Amino acid sequence: MAAAAAAWGCPAFCSTQNKKMQSMTESLAHLLKDADEVVVETSAIVLSALLLRRDLAIPSPIALRLAATLWPLLDNDNHHVQLLSICLFQELMKLVEAEGKKAMKMLVSKSLLPLFFNCHNENTRVAQASRETLLAAVIFLKRRDLENLVATDQMWRFGECLLAKDRGRAAEHLRQALPYLRSPQEPLREAAIRLMGLAGRFLREQQRELQLMCRALEDMADDVSPAISCLALQTLYINMTVQSIPSSRLQRMLEGVRRLWKSRRSLGGGGRFSCWSTAEH
């Protein structure tokens, strides 16, 4: 018995075990890309159990490959897969070794908006995990400005602060926000519109991105939620004003805001949008 225990604890045995675990981890990373939802969910569960082993050493190339695979799953339609992916992504930030931190920073930077949007998720567990992982992400990136906002739950200022420092990436942030306009969750659509409105301030010379934003916001005028429709048109109107769009088109946008505002008030829902009544003057 003592001999077996000694063998179990010897460096050679541990090294062999780690190699097996690393091989399994690589296989799971491949399975996370599978089209079968059950395969993805099962792989995420097993991977979660593996990464919780504090004695498991994961080489940076594998950790980076895992992070890149998990990144698209941060918005998975399966809430269990999404929750596991968010938690695993946070764990990988702790495990990556020094030589892999530069490459990891790129992936973590790309994760900021998905995590930020999912802080507004209607699933409270997903929202909480997103907030915790977002905090870990901004600490990893040494963004003290963003760290303070997340830590004190000032999420309404997060997008503005992010764009103020990363204005050169405004077009990238805009494109990242676009898929959330199709979310079935109203809070996520609202957060995306507000982020796009902020991004528009930094796109003066980028006509392609401006046109993309304007078309997307115009499409939101038909949203099932009057609140979202009104916010989209108001955001569009403000950005068109800033960008010096021809007055005839601006006038049509303003009329759209007025109609939605009046219809909202007639339904007795004006309280939330009272700050928009200035559009009528």
Sign of the torsion formed by the C-alpha atoms of 47, 48, 54 and 60: positive
pLDDT tens-digit readout, 215-225: 899 899 889 99
Position 242 scores a pLDDT of: 66
Q: What would the 3-class secondary structure string for the chain be?
A: CHHHHHHHHCHHHHHHHHHHHHHHHHHHHHHCCCCCHHHHHHHHHHHHHHHCCCCCCCCHHHHHHHHHHHHHHHHCCCHHHHHHHHHHHHHHHHHCCHHHHHHHHHHHHHHHHHHHHHCCCCCHHHHHHHHHHHHHHHHHCCCHHHHHHHHCCCHHHHHHHHHHHCHHHHHHHHHHHHHHHHCCCHHHHHHHHHHHHHHHCCCCCCHHHHHHHHHHHHHHHHCCCHHHHHHHHHHHHHHHHHCCCCHHHHHHHHHHHHHHHHHHHHCCCHHHHHHHHHHHC
pLDDT of 63 reads: 83
Stretches in the chain below the pLDDT threshold 50: 1-14, 267-281
Q: What is the reported pLDDT for 57?
A: 64
Q: What is the pLDDT of residue 26?
A: 81
pLDDT in tens, 39-55: 999 999 988 888 776 56
Please say whether the beta carbons of 86 and 150 come within 8 A: no
